[in-house]
Chain A
């Protein structure tokens, strides 16, 4: 194969060191995965991060409690509402209050709308990495519909700025609810078609089943969260285990799978889309009246913890107040911080053409495309980012041919 020949030209027959990152299409932020490969088999992995460390915890300590809500909304562009959700709950935990009933529903609607578009983004890009560009295009078209709904409800496609300690900043206009419901219903037929196309595809079964398995024991040992752990049979979801907002007021199911492979992670995310659609619809239909904000005045000294099940898993915020108008300590832990280290267990032993989809299966955000490179130990470039994507796509095509499809 082409890349083997090139590896030989690089003068390396035994172990080769491959860097994925620091700028890499599979990651939310720049990170460097250094893979050691023998032939095509990955035999070791090392992780480096911090390339985009912005010091937001420190920054938040220099802002007022209200300003911090806006700062931490910018931690992630995809799950932009998850951090304010956990943060406002942490501040409410310091004070010992809970948001009013109507605000609970509005918070739930925004958070689940975000989960829908975040999971769709992952499904689309996973499709692209496997050579299913039709899936990619279809899914991203659906995602646009959801972003439109979010714009109708909050005024923004992303970075909604809806949350504040004690409630939400803006109300949902009753006139847009029927329109939003129609739009959400509008994505379901295509979603059904995609679900069947993805989950019943024999090539995808062959390509993803048994690949990058994270066992239940490993998921627990690494303290993995969200779909990454639920696909390994760890039935943990903050929304069920410690209900908040409107999650115990509307019916929905926690989705789990047992296999722990990339396919199981895809199944969990796709099935969660349906649950989120059901939650958003039910909340919009049964939105109660009343105030949306407690109008809090100041934060007393003390400490509080807020958690929220973000699309990628539990996000955790710890806030300590000394009675002034700023937090003296604000600890933020995003779900990927716990999920990315699981790659140590899942990538080793697999083939290099599967590495990109396995690293992607924990759903670190996709951005900074085309900056993935394979190097010899002397630093000579062997593969670029597009090459690795191509390798992954070729593997799918080969499988398809072998299966006579």
Chain B
């Protein structure tokens, strides 16, 4: 097992290195000179010396290969340079915004899975019933509904319902309070975007749980379990569900990509100061240092999530040999 963990972690290195190389190349493809764009954004004239100074500051006058190693080395010790827009260190900007994004993502996954597994299972056990039909339609609608639109609808509902109920509109708070300081305030902020981005994850998980359950319930060992007189609850809980949930575990890793992407847009809807919003601002402001750092960060989060999920899978599934 230890060997497997180490091997799996070592596989992450080339992927991240390749991703870093790709980001580095992409950011050098930007047409024009970053410094000219930066200094000339006012449309006025700029002198050569200012451009040269800017090049020196950003290290752009060094050979490309050295720039690349600077870039990699920076990532290795969390030094991503300074934001070209705010002038603050990128790591500072990220550290301030990371907790809220992480919290929403975790909350979304937890809520999604907690809703999806029981409904997916029930849907499979009562195949072709009304409940099954409703669950399937809700699930397929989850694939079609843009998370950010769901967010807008949630805000719409909160505003109008609170207006009717309290006589004054209420909006979820937008400044971040850590969970341990004021859990009510924290959750009343984080739960709405979590629902908005989590719906898709929940829908996909529900579909997966349903189809996996349907498949497992047809297996011979389920028939055997029933034939030896086990009550249905034990057949389902101990024999079917355990096997059906294995593919669902992998799904969570794959879905984390959609979750990250969904967060980028949903944070905008709820005015949450998270990583996603920061990335959108960075792209809008043509802040390339910040953009490349944030893109790399999301890639790293995604890759490590999937590695963790693989390990969890290997630990849960006795058939996987750690070779």
A-B interaction: no
* Interface, chain A (partner B; CB < 8 A): none
